[in-house]
Every structure is written in C-alpha cells, then in structure tokens.
Amino acid sequence: MQNQETTIAIVAIVVVIIALIVWLVVQRRKSQRLRESFGEEYDRTVETKGGRRDAEAELLDRQERVKSLEIRPLSPNERMRYSADWTETKALFVDSPVEAVARGDRIITNMMDDRGYPMGDFERRHGDLTVEHQDVAKHYLAGHEIARRSGEATTEELRRGFNHYENLFKDLIGTDDDTHDDHGYAEDRPVKPEAASRPATTHRTD
C-alpha cells in the first residue's frame, strides 16, 4: 500500500513538472512571437508597464483591438489631397517650423481617421499603429513628443519632428504609383530649413 502511494505521489510530481515545462514553453513562444511582431515596441512597452506580464497583456489587447477595426486604404482623391497638403506644409516649415509641425500632426491625425483608426487619445492611436506599422509607429511617437513641446523646441528638433511625421505620412498615404509619383514622394528628401520654395503667406492655416 505504501509503495502504491509513493508511486502515485511520484506520478503526480512528474505530471506537475511536465505541466510546468509545457507552460514555460508556451509562455516563451508567446513572448517570442510578440517580440518578433512588435520589435522595439515590445521592449518599450515592457519598460513603460514595468514588467513583461503587463506589457504582453497590453500588446495582445492591441492585436485583438486592431483585428476588429476596418482599416482601409485612402482613395486616389484622398491621396492627391493629402499629398498636396503635405507639399504645402513642407514649404511652410522654412518660415514657420512650429506651425508646420503642428499642421503635420493634424494631417497625420486626419489621415488615420480617414483610414479607419479610432480617434481616441494619442496613446491609443500610437498603440493601434504598432500592431501593423511597427517601423513607422516610432516616428509617430517621436514626432508627437516634439510637437507637444514645439514652443520650447529648437529648429533642429522641429526639423527632426517633421521628418518623423513624413516617414509616417509616406506609410499612411499608400502605394498608388500614379498618385504617389505625381507628387514626388518616392524620391522626396527630408525637409531642410534652408530649402524654401514659397512664402508662408500663400498657405492655408486650417
């Protein structure tokens, strides 16, 4: 009888150990998948949340949330309109970098709205972007941070902020060759303060 009880106890321990090993393997694979999917955003979220468990729960929640969204490409007319707005805003940077960065922020927000991203707070918009646009979501984060303190930022910081927005703009505008190439973004270079093309008085302020 004692031998039978001992055998049962050993089997129970083995089962627990196997279950623990399986759980650890599953957790490791889940973590690896999230690392591969989110890249640098994985580490940033772990740091922000203060731990891997909460960070992974947040990232999984983002993935589920974005699955329910109906994200659509911009129409040709929308691409043309936004491309024209962006060209105008780039020219504005030379004479009024603060206004150009603020306007760039608004253009990005409007583009995301038109494509179907929910217009919650910035953290929500950035989080949604990281699910399928990891490489450019970091530009949104950096650009927004500079735009938020644009009144105190140097011209060089504002230039970097605008360039961050431009990287995101190129991603959001889509890949329609006719519209994209007509406005020069395939060969566009980062904005430079000295590259003025038009006086600021010719631009809209919407």
Question: Tell me: the pLDDT tens digits for 155-203?
Answer: 999 999 999 999 999 999 975 443 333 333 333 444 544 433 333 333 3
Question: Mean pLDDT in the chain?
Answer: 80
| Cα angle: 71, vertex 76, 82; to 5 degrees | 80
What pLDDT, on the 0 to 100 scale, is given for residue 175?
58
Q: SS3 for 153?
A: coil
What pLDDT, on the 0 to 100 scale, is given for residue 98?
92
Dihedrals phi, psi of 118, to nearest 5 degrees: -60, 140
Asked if 161 contacts 147 with a C-beta cutoff of 8 angstroms, the reply is yes
Cα–Cα nearest to 166, from 83, 92, 72, 44: 83
What pLDDT, on the 0 to 100 scale, is given for residue 158?
92
Q: Compare 98 and 25 and report the one with higher pLDDT.
A: 98
Reported as a single tens digit per residue, the pLDDT across 35-56 is 887 888 888 889 888 888 899 8
Asked if 100 contacts 108 with a C-beta cutoff of 8 angstroms, the reply is no
Tokens representing 136 are 């450019």
Residue 172 to residues 40, 139, 187: CA-CA distances in angstroms?
20, 12, 16
Reported as a single tens digit per residue, the pLDDT across 12-37 is 888 888 888 888 777 788 788 888 87
Measured between alpha carbons, how far is 104 from 69 in angstroms, rounded to an integer? 24
